[in-house]
Amino acid sequence: MLYDAVPVWWHFHRKGIDDRIPEVLEHFYCTRCWRDRQTVSRPKLQITRTMPDTCPLPYPDQQTWKNFMSRYRS
């Protein structure tokens, strides 16, 4: 499954969870594996330019995103 990085960052940021990539991956698991075998299977990270078809997570509002970007681009 493909996820857009911005909504994933926003989700973890709002929840107060560490939003660095290694820590974020610890929160993802295969629900089918869990349902069938009661085992946690962690996903592999692959960075791609392919955009996801749908994203179940909301984007931050435009002002929040602009503030975040200006803070880290300086």
pLDDT digits (tens, 9 = 90+) for 17-46: 998 888 888 888 888 888 898 888 887 888
The tokens for 8 are 């994933």
The pLDDT value given to residue 16: 92
The pLDDT value given to residue 63: 93
* Summary mean pLDDT of the chain: 85
* Distance of alpha carbon 12 from alpha carbon 23, whole angstroms: 10
Q: What percent of the chain has pLDDT over 70?
A: 99
Q: Whole-model pTM?
A: 0.69
- Domain hosting 24: range is 5-73
Contact 10, 59 (CB under 8 A): yes
Number of domains in the chain: 1
